[in-house]
Chain A
Amino acid sequence: MNKIPNRQVICEVLMEKAKEDKEIVVLCSDSRGSASLTPYADAFPEQFVEIGIAEQNLVSISAGLAKCGKKSYAASPACFLSTRSYEQCKVDVAYSNTNVKLIGISGGISYGALGMSHHSAQDIAALSAIPNMRVYIPSDRHQTRKLIEHLLLDEKPAYIRVGRNAVEDVYSEENCPFEMDKATIVNNPSDQADVAIIACGEMVKPAQDAAGILEKEGICAIVIDMYCVKPLDTKTIVDTANRVNAIVTIEEHAPFGGLGSMVSQVVASNCPKKVINLALPDEPVITGTSIEVFDYYGLNAEGIAKTVRELS
C-alpha cells in the first residue's frame, strides 16, 4: 500500500524545481503542515511566503507576485481556497490572467469527520465555471508528479485538487502514461466494451478495481481517468461513448456541476447514451473517515460494479 499522499508529491516536485528556478514561490495560509510543505519552507525560505489564515489575501498576493514575474503556487485547504477566496480566484487570477497555480489540498471529503465546513464538494462546479480557469484532479502520486511537472512549464491559471490521504497507485513509476489535457485510458479491454467508467481523483482507483470485478463476470468496462476536468477531454468521451452501451461517472463531488454533469452534457449533445452519475449526495455527508463515507454512499469498486450490473 502506497504511503505517499499526492500533496507530498507536489512538495517534492516543487523542491526539485525550486533549486533551479528562483521565480517559483510557494504561499500558504497557515497550512504548511497540512500541505506537506514544511520541507519546502525549510529548504527555500526565500521562495516561501506565509500569509496566515487569510485565504483571500493568499490568492490576491499570489496574483500580485505572478504579475511581477513569479510562478505562484498557493496551497490551502480546498474547502477554503475554492469558496472563501472564490472571487479572488475569479478576478485576480483567472480574469487578470496571472500565473497562479491554486493547490487545493485535503480536497473533497478528505477531512472526513470535521464536517461540511471542511469539505470541498463544490469546487469542480465553482472553479470550472470561471473562464480561463483550468481544473485538474489527479488520481495517484505518479500522475500528480507528471501533472505538476507539466504545469510548471506554462504560465496560465489552474486549480489543482488533491486529497489528504495516501491513495493506492493506479499507475506505476515505469508505466504512467500522461498527456496534458488528455484523459488517460486506464483499462481498455476490447473494441466491444459494454460500459465506460469515467472517474477523476480518488475515484479512479475504485473504477479500476470495479473493471476487474466486472471482467470476472463477463462484463467489459473501459476505465477513463479524467484528471483534466477542465479543459474536459471531450474527444475521448465521444470516442468512448460510441463504443459502449452506457457510461457511469464517479466523482468525489456534489451531484451537480461536476464531472458527471459535464460528461452528460457532452454525451447528450454528441452521441446520446445512458449516463449514470455517482457522486456525493446533496446534503452534508455522514460523519466518518473518507473511506467510511465512500463506502456508505457506494462510491467504491463494489458500488460501481453494482451500478453497472443494474444497467443490463
Chain B
Amino acid sequence: MENLKALSFELRKNVIDMIVEGKGGHIGGDMSVMDALVTLYFSQMNIRPENQEDEDRDRFVMSKGHSVESLYAVLAKKGFFPMEEVIANFSKFGSKYIGHPNNKLPGIEMNSGSLGHGLPVCVGMALAGKMNHRNYRVYTIMGDGELAEGSVWEGAMAASHYKLDNLCAVVDRNRLQISGNTENVMSHDSQIERWSSFGWHVINVENGNDIDALNQAFEEAKKTKNQPSVIIANTIKGFGSSVMENKANWHHKVPTQEEYTQIMKDLEARREAYLHE
C-alpha cells in the first residue's frame, strides 16, 4: 500500500499550487482536512473512476465545500481528472474547477458550498441504502464552525431516529473559523456530549491529522450497529507548515512568494520524512 502519510503531504503541495495559480482558496481548512480525505479515499471507501456509477459504491459529500481544493487533489490522484488540469485552471474564468464542489465533475456526488447541507443529504443517501438493502456506506466531512448551522442538527436527529449505522460523519475540529477561535465565535466544546445526546456513537480522535488513528476510527464506525457514528477529528488548521498552522487569517489566503517557498519546503520535508519512515 502506498505510503499515505507521505501522500497527504504531496497532495497538500498540489493544493498550494492550485491556490497560488487560482489566486484564492480556503487553504487553512484544506490542510487540516487532508488526512481525513486521504484516509477515506485511499483506505476506506470503495470509490474509484471505474465504479463511479456502481450502485454499491460508497458515497461521500464534502459538506465543508470550501475545502474543495483538497477534494480536487484527492480526486485527481484517484484518477477522476488530471491533476495538472486542476492546478492550471482552478477558479479561472470559465473553469469547471470552481471554488466549491460541483457534480458536473466526475467523482463529486452533490454540490455544496452552503454549510449545513451535507449531513442531511447523506441521511437521504443512507436511508436509500437501507431501503434498497445495499451495503454501501455514506460519509460526510463537516467543519466545526459549520456546526452552528441548525440544519446539521435536523440531520443528526433524523440519522439516529432511522438508526443509520451506514452513515459516518467527520467533524474537522480545527478550532478556527473566519472570525477567530470557534470558542469565541460560537462555542463548540462538549462535542462528545452533544452528538451522544442526539443518539450518535462518538469517536474522538485526539490527533485528527494522524491517518492511522483515523483508520482505526473509521473501522470502529463500521462495527457500530443501530446508530450513526461521528468522528471528531481534532486537527490543526493549516497543518503542514508553521507559516500557516493555527492562524485564523490563513482561512482564506494566498501565500506570498516568500511564504510559498517556505510552505513548500516544510511540506516536502514532512513528505520526505514519512517516505523514509
Contact = CB atoms under 8 A, between A and B. Distances in A.
A65 B128 contact: yes
Contacts of A61: 120-121, 123-124, 127, 155, 158
B20 interface: no
Contacts of B103: 96-97
Interface in A21-47: 25, 46
A60 B111 contact: no
Contacts of A57: 120, 123, 151, 154-155, 157-158
Contact of B110 (A46, A52, A62, A92): A92
A72 B127 CA distance: 12
Nearest to B121: A64
A68 B120 contact: no
Interface residues of B, number: 30
B55 interface: yes
A70 B128 contact: yes
B157 A54 contact: yes
Interface SS majority for chain A? helix
Interface in B20-37: none
A25 B162 CA distance: 15
Contacts, number: 95
A60 B131 contact: no
B158 A54 contact: yes
A91 B113 contact: yes
B112 interface: yes
A312 B110 CA distance: 54
B120 A60 contact: yes
Interface in A49-87: 49, 51-52, 54, 56-57, 60-70, 72, 87
Interface in A111-157: none
Interface in B120-168: 120-129, 131-132, 150-151, 154-155, 157-158, 161
Contacts of B251: none
Interface string A91-105: 110011100000000
A88 interface: yes
B96 to A, nearest CB: 15
A60 B123 contact: yes
Interface in B150-193: 150-151, 154-155, 157-158, 161
A52 B125 contact: no
A91 B114 contact: yes
A98 to B, nearest CB: 8
* B109, B117, B124, B126 interface centre (most CB from chain A within 10 Å): B124
Q: What is the interface residue range for chain A against chain B?
A: 20 to 34
B125 A65 contact: yes
A67 B110 contact: yes
Interface SS majority for chain B? helix
B59 interface: yes
A46 B162 CA distance: 13
Nearest to A53: B154
B132 A68 contact: yes
B55 A60 contact: no
Contacts of A60: 117, 120-121, 123-124, 151, 155
Nearest to B104: A97
B158 A70 contact: no
A118 B31 CA distance: 45
Given A54-B157, A91-B117, A92-B110, A64 B151 contact: no
Contact of B121 (A49, A54, A67): A67
Contacts of B131: 25, 46, 70
A67 B127 CA distance: 11
A54 B128 contact: no
A67 B60 CA distance: 12
Nearest to B149: A56
Contacts of A54: 154, 157-158
Interface string B42-76: 00000000000001000100000000000000000
B125 A64 contact: yes
Contact of B117 (A46, A70, A92): A92
Contacts of A95: 111
A65 B55 CA distance: 13
Contacts of A65: 124-125, 127-128
A66 B103 CA distance: 14
Given A61-B124, A70-B131, A96-B103, A52 B157 contact: yes
Given A69-B132, A91-B112, A64 B154 contact: no
Contacts of B109: 67
Contacts of A68: 55, 59, 124-125, 128-129, 132
28 contacts: A52-B157, A52-B158, A56-B116, A56-B120, A57-B151, A60-B124, A60-B155, A61-B121, A61-B124, A61-B127, A63-B124, A64-B121, A64-B124, A65-B128, A67-B121, A67-B124, A67-B128, A68-B59, A68-B129, A68-B132, A69-B55, A70-B131, A87-B117, A88-B117, A88-B151, A91-B113, A91-B114, A92-B120
Interface of B: 55, 59, 103, 109-114, 116-117, 120-129, 131-132, 150-151, 154-155, 157-158, 161
Q: 3 shortest A-B CB distances, which residue pairs?
A: A64-B124, A60-B120, A68-B128
Given A49-B127, A64-B125, 16 more contacts: A51-B158, A52-B157, A54-B154, A56-B120, A56-B154, A57-B155, A61-B120, A64-B122, A64-B128, A65-B128, A66-B124, A68-B124, A68-B125, A72-B124, A87-B114, A91-B114
